[in-house]
Structure 1
Amino acid sequence: MKLTSALRYLDQHTNLEATAGRVEGLSLDRMARLVHVLGDPQTAYPVIHITGTNGKGSVARMVSRLLTAQGLSVGTYSSPHLERINERLAWDGEPISDDALGEAIGAVAAVEDLAAVTPSYFEILTAAAFRWFAEVAVDVAVVEVGMLGRYDATNVVEASVAVCTNVGRDHTDGAPGWRQAIAEEKAGIVTAGVTDVLVLGETDPDLLPTFAAAGAVETWLRDVDFGVAADRVAVGGRLADLRTPDALHEEVYVPVHGAHQAVNASLAVAAVEAFLGRAQADEVVEEAFAELTIPGRFEVLGRHPTVVIDAAHNPEGAASAAATLAEDMTLPGSVLMVVGLLSGRDPVEVLSALGVADAGLLVVCTPDSPRALPTSEVAAAAERLGAVVEVVPEPVDAVRRALAVATEADLVLVAGSLYVVGPVRAALREMEVSA
């Protein structure tokens, strides 16, 4: 299959990323059937499986860098993409080519009738990724959960190492007991007696029994077995001391912004050492992080004015973005914000955490998604918080408006959704924004 035909085939299947509403009848049966007729490619290599409300994409990218620095061949599966669908499947850090992606999706299409199932968009891509990793003979696959864990399509793998970054309120109605319910779903990526180590970033003591009951051979707890021993702001990122059960990696330069990224780095280093069964050499850790980039995560794309994009889309992510803004950035001018949100989020909570009341201007836009929250709702929430608000529906036009108002001393922050950040990131390369 050529990529154009493959994408047409994909679009003929239900894309839950683009639809709102509750999913009923959760089961892995359909996905298990699909990979079975492909020869169960996900069993051809060990897997590090990563879940969590926030940070799992960053951790997956860091883990992949660390493993590649060890000389291993590494497949990485992540979602959603920022600009091109190819980003979701990577081999040693390089996105899959158009031809290889078309072939991988085509291989899934060829067995759909044999499997006697109608897979979803995400299930097709997941199966294609697993098959491609087997075909190129990766030494290890780093697999990011799409949503929650237990019934996510990726959970047909049996992880050697499982990672849970944290438990937040995404994908829940917030009813009493939601933290316990979300923890149970995320703990579902552990295969009892098979998963050697669960690396747990969530520190709520009330949730620890749930994760312990998942049945990993060992559970490593953040701030007990591993963690950040020290963390300082550095030019372009953080300088952190990262502690694991077997090592202390001192003054590791992590070239991404935010104290939360130092925590993510500790999770990644612990996960790789759990997988290897030994400490990593300091120079290998330093090499792995030296060239680390995490597109769309507090990524600085311009200066004079400073332009930052961040995929913060929930209250926890918004709070991290605001903290990073305050701690990592020297701001002689004002902050202007461009924000679009998806349904399922309380706009007051997200905007309050982001600090829109203190912004010089908030430009509200519409994410490029059927799940977009109407700009009128977002603008009304912002006005209730005391923000100065304009509405410019198209995200790129919204950024142009903010840039037109900004002085060279100001900072423009684009946030709220990957479906805002992705199109803006592509467009900024075409704008006259100095890096």
Structure 2
Amino acid sequence: MNIDQLLDELYSYSMHGIKLGLENIEKICKELGNPEKSYKIIHIAGTNGKGSTATTLETILLEAGYRVGKYTSPHILKFNERIRMNGKDISDEEIAYYYDEVKKAIAKAGVKPTFFEVTTAMMFKYFQDKKADYVVLETGMGGRFDATNVVDAELCIITNVTLDHTEYLGDTIYKIAKEKAGIIKDTPKVIVADRNPEFLKAIYEENAHVVNVLDKYANRKWSLDFNNFVTKIEIGDEIYNFSLFGEYQVKNFLCAYEAAVELGIDKAAIKKVSEKTVWQCRFERYSSNPLVVLDGAHNPDGMTELKKVVEKGFSPDEVVAIVSILKDKDRKRILEILRPVTSNIIFTSLAENPRGTVGEEIYELIDNKRGCSVENDIVKAFEQAKNMNKKIILICGSFYLLSKFKEEING
């Protein structure tokens, strides 16, 4: 079986749907010898910012000399990105080996797992065999009944909560926060970056030691350097040139910073690492001439943060956006947020995705159609955008769009 066939088989577990609960993963892990107990865990939940925070902390821990695993989702270009050891993606050969190991465990356990449960089990065993010191572990969705929550964490980070996945997690901030707070358990310290009263009520009900970085570092200063595209963050007498760009990245940096300080990592190492953290598709500069920026903003909160960055550095007449948004997202609200920062939007297609659609359907959702057009061929849409000679080409609305763009433009 080649890797494409193997991944097709692995993805077929998605047909089992999303099933929140720990019984399956507990049984599989038991058959594997409970590999999740072999290393220290930093467990990260939240609606937005999990990936940026996880990657920043991963890079800090590596700089400090630890063997570090990281588990995130979704992937952008290939499955391998989800499972990284010492800064490198898992190889195709390793995917094949650990998938086979987990399939044997599934057969012995007699369960019907979901795609996420299978990949989580693969990750746990892989990091055990790689002798990880720390694993930076991102929840898939929620927390309490997320497949990752069979671990006992050294430290928990809950970045924030907005209304997302309401059909599974609840229809209020408090209910969703309660689900995400389920990762806390006996963790001695929880780091958060949100001041919403309903969020905080849910977190404090877990009786943990909570550090809200927005309060602890209330005197922080920050600015966006549009020449070098770094976020300058001042904490006390120290200035950190954070390579992830945007106002929202300040909170993510503070979460990773506080976790690193709690783990006893030298601030000089944190400063050094802040300049070389890489996390694709979060205000990622794909090219400089022309300036092309990829951002996965796919919900109202994410688009709001992207809007804040763009409007600080560019006027609407300097921006053209190439956009597609999945059908199950709040498309009309996302477009309302984006519209004021760009005078031109080219709507393109993600019709090959079961949750996607053609550009014409999204075009009909926008109220102000002036300067808007449809080009379902993404390569042609990109050529059209370049011919407008704007200061910045912004590609946003879905991680699937960014993946398609990279594949087709690079291909």
Give yes or no for TM over 0.5.
yes
2:169 and 2:157 map into 1 onto residues whose CA distance is 26
| CA offset digits 1:321-342 (Å, max 9, x no partner) | 1111122x35695211111111
Aligned to 2:216: 225
Residue segments in structure 1 that go unaligned for 5+ positions in a row? 243-247, 431-435
Task: Say whether 1:79 aligns with 2:73.
Answer: yes
Q: TM-score scaled by structure 2? A: 0.92
CA contact (8 A) 1:165 1:267 kept: yes
What is the aligned counterpart of 2:388 among 381, 393, 406?
406
What is the aligned counterpart of 1:261 among 239, 249, 253?
249
Task: Say whether 1:240 aligns with 2:233.
Answer: yes
CA contact (8 A) 2:41 2:151 kept: yes
Residue segments in structure 2 that go unaligned for 5+ positions in a row? none
| CA offset digits 1:383-404 (Å, max 9, x no partner) | x13443222234444333323x
What is the aligned counterpart of 2:371 among 385, 388, 407?
388
CA contact (8 A) 1:161 1:198 kept: yes
| CA offset digits 1:11-54 (Å, max 9, x no partner) | 331257xx7xxx5x632111111111111111111111111111
Instruction: Please provide the CA RMSD for this pair.
Output: 2.4
| Aligned AA (1:308) | V
Aligned to 1:252: 240
CA contact (8 A) 2:321 2:342 kept: no
1:143 and 1:396 map into 2 onto residues whose CA distance is 36
CA contact (8 A) 2:347 2:360 kept: no
Indicate the SS of the match to 1:355. Answer: helix
Give the Å deviation of 1:427. Answer: 3.3
CA contact (8 A) 2:322 2:394 kept: yes
| CA offset digits 1:336-387 (Å, max 9, x no partner) | 11111112222121011122574223323326521125544421112x1344
| CA offset digits 1:262-317 (Å, max 9, x no partner) | 2210111112223x1x3x32320122122111101011112333111100000110
Structure 1 runs, 4 residues or longer, greater than 4 Å off: 173-177, 330-333
Task: Say whether 1:324 aligns with 2:323.
Answer: no
Aligned to 2:318: 334
1:95 and 1:174 map into 2 onto residues whose CA distance is 30
1:168 and 1:422 map into 2 onto residues whose CA distance is 25
| Aligned AA (1:240) | I
Indicate the SS of the match to 2:102. Answer: helix
1:186–1:237 Cα change, 3 Å = same
Q: TM-score scaled by structure 1? A: 0.88
What is the aligned counterpart of 1:196 among 188, 193, 207?
188
Give the Å deviation of 1:239. Answer: 1.1
Indicate the SS of the match to 1:14. Answer: helix
CA contact (8 A) 1:52 1:148 kept: yes
1:380–1:27 Cα change, 3 Å = same
What is the aligned counterpart of 2:362 among 366, 373, 378?
378
| Aligned AA (2:181) | A
| Aligned AA (2:320) | L
Q: Following superposition of structure 1 onto structure 2, how do residues 65-104 of structure 1 map, counting pairs within 5 Å?
A: 65-104=59-98
| CA offset digits 1:152-185 (Å, max 9, x no partner) | 1111112211111111111126999511111111
Aligned to 1:162: 156
Q: Following superposition of structure 1 onto structure 2, how do residues 102-113 of structure 1 map, counting pairs within 5 Å?
A: 102-113=96-107
Indicate the SS of the match to 2:153. Answer: coil
Indicate the SS of the match to 2:43. Answer: strand
| Aligned AA (2:270) | V
1:381–1:62 Cα change, 3 Å = same
CA contact (8 A) 2:315 2:341 kept: no
Deviates more, 1:166-175 or 1:252-261: 166-175
Indicate the SS of the match to 1:268. Answer: helix
1:352–1:228 Cα change, 3 Å = farther
1:375–1:100 Cα change, 3 Å = same
2:176 and 2:237 map into 1 onto residues whose CA distance is 32
Aligned to 2:176: 182
